[in-house]
């Protein structure tokens, strides 16, 4: 019989609240990072690189590699693995440096 980690520790489901990702509403739980919310929704890539536009998501999971950058509430270059999801957050895929509007 397979049991989930939550069942093994006797945890109960936490209440959820919505955050938006690229216009899609996703459920988040208290204490989850944005990366955890995206993973739970099956989203594995949420950034493209400056050179070549290669897809990126979480790599190290501890904020050291910067592969998981997203734009949160209009603020680019936020590490999804470190930023806690808050009710009503608007998260968008980040392309390149996240500052395309400043390009000359």
What is the per-residue pLDDT across 43-101, written as a single tens digit (0 to 9) for each?
A: 999 988 888 888 889 888 888 988 999 999 999 999 999 999 999 999 999 886 676 66
Q: In angstroms, rounded to a whole number, what is the distance separating the alpha carbons of residues 20 and 88?
A: 7
Q: Which two tokens stand for residue 3?
A: 């049991």
More confident residue, 11 or 102: 11
Report yes or no on 81 lying in a domain: yes
Report yes or no on 39 lying in a domain: yes
8-40 pLDDT, tens digit each: 887 777 789 999 999 999 999 999 999 999 999
5 within 8 A of 76, measured Cβ to Cβ: no
Q: Which two tokens stand for residue 13?
A: 């489901």
**What local confidence, expressed as pLDDT, does residue 26 receive?**
98
Report yes or no on 83 lying in a domain: yes
For residue 46, how far is the Cα from the chain centroid? 7
Number of domains comprising the chain:
1
Q: What is the pTM of this model?
A: 0.80
* pLDDT of 102 over the 60 cut: no
Report yes or no on 47 lying in a domain: yes
Report yes or no on 20 lying in a domain: no
For residue 5, how far is the Cα from the chain centroid? 21
> Which structural domain, as residue segments, surrounds residue 42?
34-95
**What local confidence, expressed as pLDDT, does residue 104 receive?**
44
Q: Which two tokens stand for residue 88?
A: 């009503």
Report yes or no on 18 lying in a domain: no
Quickly state the pLDDT bin for 42 (edges 50, 70, 90): very high
Report yes or no on 13 lying in a domain: no
């Amino acid at each position: 019989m397979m049991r989930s980690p939550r069942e093994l520790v006797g945890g109960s489901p936490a209440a959820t609240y919505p955050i938006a990702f690229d216009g899609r509403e996703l459920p988040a739980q208290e204490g989850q990072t944005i990366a955890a919310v995206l993973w739970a929704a099956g989203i594995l890539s949420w950034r493209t690189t400056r050179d070549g536009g290669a897809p990126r998501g979480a790599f190290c999971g501890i904020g050291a590699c910067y592969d998981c950058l997203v734009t949160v509430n209009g603020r680019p270059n936020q590490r999804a693995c470190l930023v806690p999801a808050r009710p009503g957050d608007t998260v968008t895929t980040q392309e390149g440096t996240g500052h395309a509007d400043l390009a000359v």
